[in-house]
Protein backbone atom coordinates (compact mmCIF):
# COMPACT_ATOMS: atom_id res chain seq x y z
CA UNK A 1 0.00 0.00 0.00
CA UNK A 2 1.23 3.50 -0.87
CA UNK A 3 -0.06 6.42 1.21
CA UNK A 4 0.34 9.99 0.03
CA UNK A 5 -0.70 13.31 1.54
CA UNK A 6 -2.44 16.17 -0.22
CA UNK A 7 -4.42 19.27 0.59
CA UNK A 8 -8.11 18.50 0.54
CA UNK A 9 -10.33 20.96 -1.28
CA UNK A 10 -13.54 19.00 -0.88
CA UNK A 11 -14.48 16.54 1.83
CA UNK A 12 -15.69 13.09 0.85
CA UNK A 13 -14.41 9.56 0.30
CA UNK A 14 -13.95 8.01 -3.14
CA UNK A 15 -12.99 4.41 -3.85
CA UNK A 16 -12.12 3.25 -7.34
CA UNK A 17 -9.53 2.71 -10.02
CA UNK A 18 -6.90 5.22 -11.02
CA UNK A 19 -6.83 6.89 -14.40
CA UNK A 20 -3.60 8.78 -14.97
CA UNK A 21 -4.36 11.77 -17.10
CA UNK A 22 -1.39 12.92 -19.13
CA UNK A 23 -1.61 15.68 -21.64
CA UNK A 24 -0.81 14.36 -25.09
CA UNK A 25 1.73 17.05 -25.74
CA UNK A 26 4.13 16.92 -28.62
CA UNK A 27 7.02 19.33 -28.92
CA UNK A 28 6.20 22.10 -31.34
CA UNK A 29 8.36 21.81 -34.42
CA UNK A 30 9.64 24.82 -36.30
CA UNK A 31 9.15 24.48 -40.04
CA UNK A 32 9.60 26.82 -42.99
CA UNK A 33 6.49 26.90 -45.15
CA UNK A 34 6.10 27.76 -48.81
CA UNK A 35 2.34 28.18 -49.13
CA UNK A 36 1.47 31.08 -46.81
CA UNK A 37 -2.22 31.13 -47.74
CA UNK A 38 -2.63 27.42 -47.03
CA UNK A 39 -0.93 27.87 -43.65
CA UNK A 40 -3.16 30.84 -42.77
CA UNK A 41 -6.18 28.74 -43.70
CA UNK A 42 -4.90 25.89 -41.49
CA UNK A 43 -4.61 28.29 -38.57
CA UNK A 44 -8.08 29.74 -39.23
CA UNK A 45 -9.61 26.26 -39.35
CA UNK A 46 -7.96 25.24 -36.06
CA UNK A 47 -8.99 28.51 -34.44
CA UNK A 48 -12.62 28.01 -35.56
CA UNK A 49 -12.60 24.51 -34.12
CA UNK A 50 -11.12 25.76 -30.83
CA UNK A 51 -13.82 28.45 -30.70
CA UNK A 52 -16.52 25.85 -31.16
CA UNK A 53 -15.03 23.72 -28.38
CA UNK A 54 -14.87 26.70 -26.04
CA UNK A 55 -18.48 27.57 -26.78
CA UNK A 56 -19.66 24.08 -25.90
CA UNK A 57 -17.40 24.02 -22.83
CA UNK A 58 -19.07 27.24 -21.71
CA UNK A 59 -22.52 25.68 -22.15
CA UNK A 60 -21.46 22.52 -20.32
CA UNK A 61 -19.91 24.43 -17.41
CA UNK A 62 -23.01 26.62 -17.19
CA UNK A 63 -25.16 23.50 -16.82
CA UNK A 64 -22.83 21.62 -14.49
CA UNK A 65 -21.25 24.18 -12.24
CA UNK A 66 -22.83 27.60 -12.76
CA UNK A 67 -22.31 30.92 -14.44
CA UNK A 68 -19.34 32.15 -12.44
CA UNK A 69 -17.23 29.09 -13.24
CA UNK A 70 -18.41 29.04 -16.87
CA UNK A 71 -17.14 32.59 -17.36
CA UNK A 72 -13.58 31.35 -17.80
CA UNK A 73 -14.52 29.87 -21.19
CA UNK A 74 -16.07 33.16 -22.19
CA UNK A 75 -12.76 34.82 -21.32
CA UNK A 76 -10.93 32.17 -23.37
CA UNK A 77 -13.09 32.93 -26.40
CA UNK A 78 -12.34 36.63 -26.05
CA UNK A 79 -8.61 35.98 -25.74
CA UNK A 80 -8.62 33.69 -28.74
CA UNK A 81 -10.30 36.41 -30.76
CA UNK A 82 -7.97 39.11 -29.49
CA UNK A 83 -6.77 41.28 -32.35
CA UNK A 84 -3.13 41.57 -31.20
CA UNK A 85 -2.87 37.85 -30.52
CA UNK A 86 -4.19 36.97 -33.98
CA UNK A 87 -2.11 39.63 -35.69
CA UNK A 88 1.06 38.29 -34.08
CA UNK A 89 0.31 34.75 -35.30
CA UNK A 90 -0.56 35.74 -38.84
CA UNK A 91 2.50 38.02 -39.02
CA UNK A 92 4.83 35.19 -38.06
CA UNK A 93 3.23 32.98 -40.72
CA UNK A 94 3.32 35.71 -43.38
CA UNK A 95 6.58 37.52 -42.63
CA UNK A 96 8.74 34.77 -41.22
CA UNK A 97 7.15 31.96 -43.29
CA UNK A 98 6.80 29.75 -40.24
CA UNK A 99 4.29 26.95 -39.69
CA UNK A 100 1.09 27.73 -37.76
CA UNK A 101 2.03 25.61 -34.69
CA UNK A 102 5.26 27.53 -34.27
CA UNK A 103 3.53 30.89 -34.85
CA UNK A 104 1.00 30.12 -32.11
CA UNK A 105 3.75 28.84 -29.80
CA UNK A 106 5.91 31.97 -30.22
CA UNK A 107 2.92 34.29 -29.79
CA UNK A 108 1.93 32.40 -26.66
CA UNK A 109 5.42 32.79 -25.19
CA UNK A 110 5.47 36.49 -25.95
CA UNK A 111 1.99 37.18 -24.54
CA UNK A 112 2.60 35.08 -21.45
CA UNK A 113 5.80 37.02 -20.75
CA UNK A 114 3.90 40.26 -21.15
CA UNK A 115 1.11 39.23 -18.75
CA UNK A 116 3.52 37.77 -16.21
CA UNK A 117 5.45 41.03 -16.00
CA UNK A 118 2.35 43.03 -15.05
CA UNK A 119 1.85 44.33 -11.50
CA UNK A 120 -1.81 43.47 -11.38
CA UNK A 121 -2.37 40.00 -9.96
CA UNK A 122 -5.50 39.49 -12.03
CA UNK A 123 -3.62 40.27 -15.25
CA UNK A 124 -0.74 37.98 -14.26
CA UNK A 125 -3.31 35.24 -13.85
CA UNK A 126 -4.30 35.66 -17.51
CA UNK A 127 -0.94 34.18 -18.60
CA UNK A 128 -2.29 30.72 -17.76
CA UNK A 129 -5.34 31.40 -19.92
CA UNK A 130 -3.17 32.41 -22.88
CA UNK A 131 -1.24 29.17 -22.45
CA UNK A 132 -4.46 27.18 -22.23
CA UNK A 133 -5.96 28.58 -25.46
CA UNK A 134 -2.66 28.34 -27.33
CA UNK A 135 -2.21 24.69 -26.34
CA UNK A 136 -5.74 24.00 -27.49
CA UNK A 137 -5.04 25.46 -30.94
CA UNK A 138 -1.66 23.72 -31.21
CA UNK A 139 -3.11 20.34 -30.24
CA UNK A 140 -5.81 20.76 -32.89
CA UNK A 141 -3.16 21.72 -35.46
CA UNK A 142 -0.86 18.79 -34.72
CA UNK A 143 -3.64 16.31 -34.03
CA UNK A 144 -2.65 15.44 -30.44
CA UNK A 145 -5.83 16.54 -28.74
CA UNK A 146 -6.96 13.82 -26.31
CA UNK A 147 -10.56 13.10 -25.83
CA UNK A 148 -11.56 12.67 -22.20
CA UNK A 149 -14.05 10.13 -23.48
CA UNK A 150 -11.13 7.73 -23.78
CA UNK A 151 -11.37 7.40 -20.03
CA UNK A 152 -12.86 4.20 -18.63
CA UNK A 153 -15.50 4.81 -16.02
CA UNK A 154 -15.79 5.66 -13.19
CA UNK A 155 -12.29 6.65 -12.08
CA UNK A 156 -10.07 8.62 -9.76
CA UNK A 157 -8.17 11.04 -11.98
CA UNK A 158 -4.51 11.52 -11.14
CA UNK A 159 -2.82 14.38 -12.95
CA UNK A 160 0.15 16.67 -12.66
CA UNK A 161 -2.14 19.67 -13.04
CA UNK A 162 -5.44 20.34 -14.73
CA UNK A 163 -6.48 23.47 -16.52
CA UNK A 164 -10.10 24.49 -15.88
CA UNK A 165 -10.84 23.73 -19.52
CA UNK A 166 -9.69 20.12 -18.99
CA UNK A 167 -11.59 19.67 -15.73
CA UNK A 168 -14.92 20.72 -17.18
CA UNK A 169 -14.46 18.55 -20.27
CA UNK A 170 -14.64 15.41 -18.17
CA UNK A 171 -17.99 13.78 -17.91
CA UNK A 172 -18.87 14.38 -14.24
CA UNK A 173 -20.54 11.00 -13.93
CA UNK A 174 -17.20 9.35 -14.74
CA UNK A 175 -15.19 11.10 -12.04
CA UNK A 176 -15.01 9.72 -8.52
CA UNK A 177 -12.24 12.03 -7.36
CA UNK A 178 -9.40 14.22 -8.57
CA UNK A 179 -5.85 14.02 -7.23
CA UNK A 180 -3.49 16.71 -8.47
CA UNK A 181 0.24 16.93 -7.92
CA UNK A 182 0.39 20.71 -8.29
CA UNK A 183 -2.40 23.25 -7.85
CA UNK A 184 -3.48 25.25 -4.85
CA UNK A 185 -6.62 25.31 -2.76
CA UNK A 186 -7.77 28.45 -4.52
CA UNK A 187 -6.89 27.48 -8.09
CA UNK A 188 -9.70 27.45 -10.63
CA UNK A 189 -9.59 23.68 -10.76
CA UNK A 190 -9.98 23.37 -6.99
CA UNK A 191 -12.92 25.76 -7.12
CA UNK A 192 -14.52 23.77 -9.93
CA UNK A 193 -14.01 20.49 -8.07
CA UNK A 194 -15.57 21.97 -4.94
CA UNK A 195 -18.56 23.22 -6.91
CA UNK A 196 -18.97 19.81 -8.53
CA UNK A 197 -18.90 18.11 -5.08
CA UNK A 198 -15.99 15.88 -6.04
CA UNK A 199 -13.55 14.75 -3.32
CA UNK A 200 -10.27 16.29 -4.40
CA UNK A 201 -6.70 16.72 -3.29
CA UNK A 202 -4.21 19.29 -4.55
CA UNK A 203 -0.45 19.64 -3.89
CA UNK A 204 -0.34 15.88 -3.50
CA UNK A 205 3.00 14.24 -3.05
CA UNK A 206 2.45 11.75 -5.91
CA UNK A 207 4.32 10.55 -8.95
CA UNK A 208 2.15 11.01 -12.02
CA UNK A 209 3.07 7.79 -13.76
CA UNK A 210 0.92 5.67 -16.05
CA UNK A 211 2.11 2.60 -14.14
CA UNK A 212 -0.67 3.43 -11.64
CA UNK A 213 -3.37 3.14 -14.31
CA UNK A 214 -6.11 0.74 -13.23
CA UNK A 215 -4.78 0.31 -9.68
CA UNK A 216 -7.29 0.37 -6.86
CA UNK A 217 -7.16 3.54 -4.76
CA UNK A 218 -8.97 5.56 -2.11
CA UNK A 219 -9.18 9.33 -1.74
CA UNK A 220 -9.96 10.39 1.80
CA UNK A 221 -10.93 14.05 1.43
CA UNK A 222 -11.55 14.32 5.17
CA UNK A 223 -7.99 13.45 6.12
CA UNK A 224 -6.29 14.64 2.90
CA UNK A 225 -4.90 11.16 2.21
CA UNK A 226 -4.53 9.14 -0.97
CA UNK A 227 -4.11 5.36 -0.73
CA UNK A 228 -2.89 3.30 -3.71
CA UNK A 229 -3.47 -0.46 -3.44
CA UNK A 230 -5.02 -0.11 0.02
CA UNK A 231 -4.66 -3.15 2.30
CA UNK A 232 -7.79 -4.96 3.52
CA UNK A 233 -7.90 -3.17 6.83
CA UNK A 234 -7.63 0.30 5.25
CA UNK A 235 -10.20 -0.63 2.62
CA UNK A 236 -12.69 -1.76 5.26
CA UNK A 237 -12.13 1.44 7.26
CA UNK A 238 -12.56 3.61 4.17
CA UNK A 239 -15.70 1.78 3.03
CA UNK A 240 -17.18 2.44 6.44
CA UNK A 241 -16.13 6.11 6.28
CA UNK A 242 -17.65 6.45 2.82
CA UNK A 243 -20.89 4.84 3.96
CA UNK A 244 -21.15 7.26 6.85
CA UNK A 245 -20.41 10.23 4.58
CA UNK A 246 -23.08 9.11 2.05
CA UNK A 247 -25.65 8.64 4.80
CA UNK A 248 -24.77 12.03 6.19
CA UNK A 249 -25.32 13.70 2.83
CA UNK A 250 -28.69 12.04 2.32
CA UNK A 251 -29.76 12.96 5.82
CA UNK A 252 -28.86 16.57 5.24
CA UNK A 253 -31.64 16.96 2.69
CA UNK A 254 -34.04 16.40 5.57
CA UNK A 255 -32.78 19.64 7.05
CA UNK A 256 -34.44 21.67 4.31
CA UNK A 257 -37.33 23.70 5.66
CA UNK A 258 -36.41 22.91 9.27
CA UNK A 259 -35.83 25.62 11.82
CA UNK A 260 -32.26 26.38 12.86
CA UNK A 261 -32.83 25.95 16.55
CA UNK A 262 -30.84 24.44 19.41
CA UNK A 263 -32.28 21.73 21.65
CA UNK A 264 -33.00 24.35 24.28
CA UNK A 265 -35.00 26.38 21.76
CA UNK A 266 -32.57 29.16 20.84
CA UNK A 267 -32.89 30.18 17.21
CA UNK A 268 -29.62 30.89 15.43
CA UNK A 269 -29.85 32.94 12.25
CA UNK A 270 -28.16 30.79 9.62
CA UNK A 271 -27.06 32.99 6.74
CA UNK A 272 -24.81 32.68 3.68
CA UNK A 273 -21.71 34.45 2.38
CA UNK A 274 -21.82 35.53 -1.25
CA UNK A 275 -19.54 37.32 -3.70
CA UNK A 276 -22.08 38.39 -6.30
CA UNK A 277 -25.61 38.30 -7.65
CA UNK A 278 -24.99 34.90 -9.28
CA UNK A 279 -24.50 33.23 -5.87
CA UNK A 280 -28.10 33.86 -4.79
CA UNK A 281 -29.17 30.62 -6.55
CA UNK A 282 -26.95 28.58 -4.21
CA UNK A 283 -28.28 30.51 -1.21
CA UNK A 284 -31.86 29.63 -2.12
CA UNK A 285 -31.06 26.02 -3.10
CA UNK A 286 -29.49 25.42 0.30
CA UNK A 287 -32.42 26.90 2.15
CA UNK A 288 -30.36 29.61 3.80
CA UNK A 289 -32.23 32.12 5.95
CA UNK A 290 -30.49 35.20 4.64
CA UNK A 291 -27.22 36.65 3.45
CA UNK A 292 -24.80 37.53 6.24
CA UNK A 293 -21.98 38.78 4.05
CA UNK A 294 -22.15 40.07 0.50
CA UNK A 295 -18.52 40.92 -0.32
CA UNK A 296 -19.35 43.97 -2.44
CA UNK A 297 -15.71 44.50 -3.46
CA UNK A 298 -16.11 41.75 -6.04
CA UNK A 299 -18.21 44.23 -8.02
CA UNK A 300 -15.08 46.39 -8.22
CA UNK A 301 -12.59 43.67 -9.23
CA UNK A 302 -11.65 42.47 -12.72
CA UNK A 303 -12.58 45.72 -14.43
CA UNK A 304 -10.96 48.95 -15.61
CA UNK A 305 -13.03 51.52 -13.79
CA UNK A 306 -15.30 52.02 -10.79
CA UNK A 307 -18.77 50.49 -11.02
CA UNK A 308 -21.33 53.29 -11.35
CA UNK A 309 -24.03 54.03 -8.78
CA UNK A 310 -26.57 52.59 -11.20
CA UNK A 311 -24.65 49.34 -11.72
CA UNK A 312 -24.27 48.87 -8.00
CA UNK A 313 -27.89 49.77 -7.31
CA UNK A 314 -29.05 47.12 -9.81
CA UNK A 315 -26.85 44.44 -8.21
CA UNK A 316 -27.93 45.22 -4.64
CA UNK A 317 -31.57 45.57 -5.63
CA UNK A 318 -31.52 42.21 -7.44
CA UNK A 319 -30.09 40.41 -4.42
CA UNK A 320 -32.53 42.08 -2.01
CA UNK A 321 -35.52 41.40 -4.26
CA UNK A 322 -34.59 37.76 -4.83
CA UNK A 323 -34.22 37.22 -1.07
CA UNK A 324 -37.85 38.38 -0.64
CA UNK A 325 -37.63 40.15 2.69
CA UNK A 326 -34.98 37.90 4.19
CA UNK A 327 -32.00 39.66 5.73
CA UNK A 328 -29.24 40.77 3.31
CA UNK A 329 -26.09 42.24 4.84
CA UNK A 330 -23.96 44.02 2.29
CA UNK A 331 -20.43 44.88 3.31
CA UNK A 332 -19.04 48.10 1.87
CA UNK A 333 -15.97 47.96 -0.28
CA UNK A 334 -13.12 45.93 1.28
CA UNK A 335 -10.53 46.58 -1.39
CA UNK A 336 -6.77 46.56 -0.72
CA UNK A 337 -4.39 43.89 0.64
CA UNK A 338 -4.89 40.82 -1.58
CA UNK A 339 -7.87 42.39 -3.40
CA UNK A 340 -6.39 45.04 -5.66
CA UNK A 341 -7.92 46.99 -8.52
CA UNK A 342 -5.45 49.05 -10.53
CA UNK A 343 -7.75 52.00 -11.13
CA UNK A 344 -7.76 52.76 -7.37
CA UNK A 345 -4.08 53.69 -7.87
CA UNK A 346 -3.10 52.55 -4.41
CA UNK A 347 0.64 53.10 -4.03
CA UNK A 348 2.73 49.97 -3.53
CA UNK A 349 2.94 49.14 0.15
CA UNK A 350 5.44 47.25 2.25
CA UNK A 351 2.68 45.53 4.25
CA UNK A 352 -0.59 45.79 2.29
CA UNK A 353 -2.57 43.74 4.84
CA UNK A 354 -1.68 46.43 7.37
CA UNK A 355 -2.09 49.17 4.85
CA UNK A 356 -4.50 51.32 2.93
CA UNK A 357 -7.55 49.10 2.69
CA UNK A 358 -11.30 48.81 3.25
CA UNK A 359 -12.82 51.58 5.37
CA UNK A 360 -9.51 53.47 5.31
CA UNK A 361 -9.92 53.93 1.56
CA UNK A 362 -13.61 54.83 1.91
CA UNK A 363 -12.96 57.48 4.56
CA UNK A 364 -10.15 58.98 2.48
CA UNK A 365 -11.81 58.69 -0.93
CA UNK A 366 -15.26 59.85 0.15
CA UNK A 367 -16.50 60.19 -3.44
CA UNK A 368 -16.13 56.42 -3.93
CA UNK A 369 -17.79 55.73 -0.57
CA UNK A 370 -20.71 58.10 -1.18
CA UNK A 371 -21.46 56.51 -4.55
CA UNK A 372 -21.67 53.09 -2.92
CA UNK A 373 -23.79 54.40 -0.05
CA UNK A 374 -26.23 56.06 -2.45
CA UNK A 375 -26.62 52.77 -4.31
CA UNK A 376 -27.08 50.85 -1.05
CA UNK A 377 -29.61 53.28 0.40
CA UNK A 378 -31.63 53.32 -2.82
CA UNK A 379 -31.61 49.50 -2.81
CA UNK A 380 -32.81 49.45 0.81
CA UNK A 381 -36.30 50.24 -0.49
CA UNK A 382 -36.41 46.74 -2.03
CA UNK A 383 -35.79 44.45 0.93
CA UNK A 384 -34.38 43.88 4.39
CA UNK A 385 -30.93 45.45 4.24
CA UNK A 386 -28.05 45.61 6.69
CA UNK A 387 -24.99 47.70 5.78
CA UNK A 388 -21.71 46.59 7.30
CA UNK A 389 -18.33 48.33 7.40
CA UNK A 390 -15.03 46.42 7.29
CA UNK A 391 -11.71 46.84 9.13
CA UNK A 392 -12.97 49.16 11.87
CA UNK A 393 -10.53 50.03 14.66
CA UNK A 394 -12.07 53.06 16.39
CA UNK A 395 -15.24 54.83 17.53
CA UNK A 396 -14.12 57.87 15.57
CA UNK A 397 -14.47 55.90 12.32
CA UNK A 398 -18.06 54.86 13.08
CA UNK A 399 -19.03 58.39 14.07
CA UNK A 400 -17.67 59.70 10.75
CA UNK A 401 -19.34 56.89 8.78
CA UNK A 402 -22.69 57.69 10.38
CA UNK A 403 -22.29 61.39 9.57
CA UNK A 404 -21.67 60.50 5.93
CA UNK A 405 -24.66 58.12 5.87
CA UNK A 406 -26.85 60.93 7.26
CA UNK A 407 -25.54 63.33 4.63
CA UNK A 408 -26.31 60.82 1.88
CA UNK A 409 -29.83 60.41 3.28
CA UNK A 410 -30.35 64.19 3.16
CA UNK A 411 -29.03 64.27 -0.40
CA UNK A 412 -31.53 61.59 -1.44
CA UNK A 413 -34.33 63.42 0.39
CA UNK A 414 -33.50 66.58 -1.52
CA UNK A 415 -33.58 64.67 -4.78
CA UNK A 416 -36.82 63.00 -3.77
CA UNK A 417 -35.31 59.53 -4.09
CA UNK A 418 -36.81 56.80 -1.92
CA UNK A 419 -34.93 54.61 0.54
CA UNK A 420 -36.08 52.20 3.22
CA UNK A 421 -35.00 51.26 6.72
CA UNK A 422 -31.74 49.46 7.21
CA UNK A 423 -29.48 48.27 9.99
CA UNK A 424 -25.92 49.50 10.39
CA UNK A 425 -23.20 47.18 11.62
CA UNK A 426 -19.46 46.72 11.64
CA UNK A 427 -17.08 43.86 11.14
CA UNK A 428 -15.02 42.91 14.14
CA UNK A 429 -11.90 41.70 12.39
CA UNK A 430 -9.11 43.60 14.10
CA UNK A 431 -7.98 42.83 17.65
CA UNK A 432 -8.44 46.56 18.36
CA UNK A 433 -12.15 46.38 17.52
CA UNK A 434 -12.67 43.26 19.62
CA UNK A 435 -10.88 44.78 22.61
CA UNK A 436 -12.94 48.02 22.47
CA UNK A 437 -16.15 46.29 21.39
CA UNK A 438 -17.83 47.70 24.54
CA UNK A 439 -17.19 51.21 23.21
CA UNK A 440 -18.19 50.38 19.63
CA UNK A 441 -21.42 48.49 20.36
CA UNK A 442 -23.58 51.48 21.44
CA UNK A 443 -23.06 52.97 17.96
CA UNK A 444 -24.31 50.03 15.89
CA UNK A 445 -27.16 47.56 15.41
CA UNK A 446 -24.88 44.57 14.97
CA UNK A 447 -21.39 43.12 14.92
CA UNK A 448 -20.18 40.48 12.48
CA UNK A 449 -16.93 38.82 13.46
CA UNK A 450 -14.53 38.35 10.55
CA UNK A 451 -12.46 35.50 11.92
CA UNK A 452 -10.26 35.29 8.81
CA UNK A 453 -8.68 38.66 9.45
CA UNK A 454 -9.17 38.57 13.21
CA UNK A 455 -7.06 35.38 13.28
CA UNK A 456 -4.32 36.73 11.02
CA UNK A 457 -3.99 39.96 13.01
CA UNK A 458 -4.25 38.31 16.42
CA UNK A 459 -1.77 35.55 15.68
CA UNK A 460 0.41 37.69 13.38
CA UNK A 461 0.13 34.98 10.73
CA UNK A 462 -0.41 36.10 7.14
CA UNK A 463 -3.58 34.35 5.92
CA UNK A 464 -2.05 34.05 2.42
CA UNK A 465 1.13 32.31 3.54
CA UNK A 466 0.70 28.52 3.33
CA UNK A 467 4.15 27.85 4.71
CA UNK A 468 2.98 29.07 8.12
CA UNK A 469 0.27 26.39 8.32
CA UNK A 470 2.12 24.57 11.09
CA UNK A 471 2.02 27.63 13.32
CA UNK A 472 -1.61 28.44 12.63
CA UNK A 473 -4.17 27.28 15.17
CA UNK A 474 -7.69 28.37 14.21
CA UNK A 475 -8.91 27.39 17.68
CA UNK A 476 -6.28 29.49 19.45
CA UNK A 477 -7.59 30.57 22.84
CA UNK A 478 -6.74 34.20 22.06
CA UNK A 479 -9.16 34.20 19.12
CA UNK A 480 -11.90 32.45 21.07
CA UNK A 481 -11.56 34.90 23.98
CA UNK A 482 -11.84 37.86 21.62
CA UNK A 483 -14.98 36.34 20.10
CA UNK A 484 -16.49 35.76 23.54
CA UNK A 485 -15.70 39.32 24.62
CA UNK A 486 -17.21 40.74 21.43
CA UNK A 487 -20.47 38.81 21.82
CA UNK A 488 -20.85 39.85 25.46
CA UNK A 489 -20.18 43.51 24.69
CA UNK A 490 -22.65 43.50 21.79
CA UNK A 491 -25.39 42.09 24.00
CA UNK A 492 -24.73 44.57 26.82
CA UNK A 493 -25.66 47.35 24.37
CA UNK A 494 -28.59 45.53 22.81
CA UNK A 495 -26.77 44.79 19.53
CA UNK A 496 -26.76 41.36 17.93
CA UNK A 497 -23.57 39.51 17.02
CA UNK A 498 -22.70 37.03 14.28
CA UNK A 499 -19.67 35.38 12.69
CA UNK A 500 -19.06 35.61 8.94
CA UNK A 501 -15.46 34.38 8.80
CA UNK A 502 -14.62 30.78 7.86
CA UNK A 503 -14.58 29.74 11.52
CA UNK A 504 -18.37 30.11 11.55
CA UNK A 505 -18.58 26.84 9.59
CA UNK A 506 -16.20 24.99 11.92
CA UNK A 507 -18.58 22.44 13.41
CA UNK A 508 -16.16 21.63 16.23
CA UNK A 509 -16.80 25.11 17.57
CA UNK A 510 -20.55 25.37 16.98
CA UNK A 511 -21.51 24.33 20.52
CA UNK A 512 -18.96 26.72 21.97
CA UNK A 513 -20.22 29.62 19.85
CA UNK A 514 -23.76 28.89 20.99
CA UNK A 515 -22.64 28.80 24.61
CA UNK A 516 -20.98 32.16 24.04
CA UNK A 517 -24.37 33.48 22.90
CA UNK A 518 -23.80 33.90 19.17
CA UNK A 519 -26.93 35.12 17.33
CA UNK A 520 -25.97 34.46 13.72
CA UNK A 521 -23.59 32.32 11.66
CA UNK A 522 -22.93 33.15 8.02
CA UNK A 523 -21.18 30.47 5.94
CA UNK A 524 -20.67 29.30 2.33
CA UNK A 525 -24.06 28.22 0.96
CA UNK A 526 -22.86 24.58 0.66
CA UNK A 527 -22.35 24.29 4.43
CA UNK A 528 -25.83 25.51 5.39
CA UNK A 529 -27.67 22.21 5.83
CA UNK A 530 -24.80 20.53 7.66
CA UNK A 531 -24.50 23.44 10.04
CA UNK A 532 -28.25 23.50 10.62
CA UNK A 533 -28.05 19.84 11.61
CA UNK A 534 -25.14 20.55 13.95
CA UNK A 535 -26.96 23.46 15.61
CA UNK A 536 -30.09 21.33 16.13
CA UNK A 537 -27.92 18.79 17.98
CA UNK A 538 -26.53 21.41 20.35
C1 LIG B 1 -12.98 37.92 7.50
O2 LIG B 1 -11.95 38.60 7.54
O3 LIG B 1 -13.20 36.98 8.29
C4 LIG B 1 -14.01 38.16 6.47
C5 LIG B 1 -15.17 37.56 6.51
O6 LIG B 1 -13.70 39.01 5.44
P7 LIG B 1 -12.72 38.61 4.23
O8 LIG B 1 -12.47 37.13 4.31
O9 LIG B 1 -13.41 39.04 3.00
O10 LIG B 1 -11.50 39.42 4.55
MG1 LIG C 1 -11.79 40.43 6.40
Q: 335: domain CATH number?
A: 3.20.20.60
In a domain, 251, yes or no: no
291 and 160 both lie in a single domain: no
Q: Whose CA is nearest to atom 1 of ligand 1?
A: 450
Given 141, 166, 186, the domain boundary residue is 141
Nearest CA to ligand 1 atom 6: 450
Nearest atom of ligand 1 to the alpha carbon of 293: 5
Q: Is the residue at 56 inside a domain?
A: yes
Helix segments in 430-509, DSSP class H: 431-435, 437-440, 451-459, 477-492
271, 273, 337, 427, best to mutate for ligand 1 pocket (most atoms within 8 Å of CB)? 427
Residue 246 falls inside a structural domain: no
297 lines ligand 1 (CB under 6 A): no
Are residue 120 and residue 161 in the same domain, yes or no? no
In contact, 528 and 257? CB cutoff 8 Å: no
Does residue 254 belong to any structural domain of this protein? no
CA of 434 to the centre of ligand 1 (A): 15
Are residues 337 and 454 part of one domain?
yes
Q: Which range of residues forms the domain containing residue 15?
A: 2-22+148-241
Q: Which of 330, 352, 439 lies closest to 392 in space, CA to CA?
A: 439
The 10s digit of each residue's pLDDT in 146-188 is 555 555 578 999 988 876 566 656 776 788 999 998 866 545 4
Residue 325: inside a domain: yes
CB 105 within 8 A of CB 138: yes
| Closest ligand 1 atom number to CA of residue 500 | 5
Point out the domain boundary residue: 177, 206, 241. Answer: 241
Tell me, yes or no, whether 249 lies in a domain: no
Residue ranges near ligand 2 (ion) with Cβ within 5 Å: 429, 450, 453
CATH of the domain at 118: 1.10.274.10
Residue 450: CB within 6 Å of ligand 1?
A: yes
Which residues form the catalytic set? 188, 500
Query: Are 410 and 272 within one domain?
Result: yes
CB of 504 sitting under 6 A from ligand 1 = no
Q: Which of 99, 121, 141 is the last residue of a domain?
A: 141
- Ligand 1 centroid–CA 161 distance in Å is 29
Q: Which atom of ligand 1 is nearest to the CA of 337?
A: 10
Is 275's C-beta closer than 6 angstroms to any atom of ligand 1?
no
pLDDT on residue 132? 87
Q: Which residues of 72-95 are buried (b: 16+ CB within 10 A; e: fewer)?
A: bbbbbbebbeeeebeebbbebbee
Q: Are 120 and 12 in a shared domain? A: no
Do 328 and 462 reside in the same domain of the chain?
yes
184 and 331 both lie in a single domain: no
Is 340 in the same domain as 294?
Answer: yes
CATH number at residue 219: 3.50.30.10
Question: How high is the pLDDT of residue 63?
Answer: 76
Residues 103 and 159 in one domain: no
Distance 452 CA to ligand 2 centre (A): 6
CA nearest neighbour of 140 among 48, 19, 220, 216: 48
Number of domains the chain contains: 3
Check whether residue 12 and residue 112 sit in a common domain.
no
pLDDT score recorded for residue 64: 67
Q: Ligand 1 atom closest to Cα of 295? A: 9
**What's the gap in Å between 31 CA and the centre of ligand 1?**
53
Side-by-side strand order, sheet with 225-228: 2-5, 225-228, 216-220, 13-21, 155-159, 175-180, 200-202, 7-10
Instruction: Determine which residue's CA is closest to atom 7 belonging to ligand 1.
Output: 452
Same domain for 443 and 385: yes
Is 500 a pocket residue for ligand 1 (Cβ < 6 Å)? yes
From 354, 358, 499, 500, the mutation candidate for ligand 1 (largest count of ligand atoms within 8 A of CB) is 500
Q: Distances in Å between the alpha carbon of 80 and those of 89, 302, 304?
A: 11, 19, 20
Q: Is 34 helix (H, G, I), strand (E, B) or coil?
A: coil
Query: Phi/psi of residue 125, each to 5°?
Result: -65, -25
The structure's pTM equals 0.66
Shared domain for 117 and 191, answered yes or no, is no
Chunked into runs of 10 residues, the chain (538 residues) has average pLDDT values of 89 90 73 94 93 85 76 91 95 94 94 87 83 88 62 82 67 84 62 66 86 91 94 95 86 91 97 88 92 92 87 96 98 87 88 94 97 98 98 98 98 98 98 98 98 94 78 94 98 98 93 98 91 96
Q: Which of 390, 458, 463, 474 to mutate to test the pocket of ligand 1 (most atoms within 8 A of CB)?
A: 390
Assigned domain for 27 exists: no
297 within some domain = yes
Amino acid sequence: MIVREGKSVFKGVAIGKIFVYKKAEKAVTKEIITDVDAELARFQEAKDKAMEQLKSLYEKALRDVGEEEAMIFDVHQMLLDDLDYNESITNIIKEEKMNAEYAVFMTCEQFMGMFLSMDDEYMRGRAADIEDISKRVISILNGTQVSPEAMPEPVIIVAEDLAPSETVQFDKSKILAIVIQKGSANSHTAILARTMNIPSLVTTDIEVDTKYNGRMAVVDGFAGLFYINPDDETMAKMEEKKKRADEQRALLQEMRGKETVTKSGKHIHLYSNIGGVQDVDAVLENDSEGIGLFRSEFLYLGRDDYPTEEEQFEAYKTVLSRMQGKKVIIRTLDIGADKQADYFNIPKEENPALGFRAIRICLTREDVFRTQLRALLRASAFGNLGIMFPMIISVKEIVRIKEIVDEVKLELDREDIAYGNFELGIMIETPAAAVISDLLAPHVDFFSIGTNDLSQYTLAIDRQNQSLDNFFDPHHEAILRLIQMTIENAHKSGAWCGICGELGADMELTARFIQMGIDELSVSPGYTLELRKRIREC
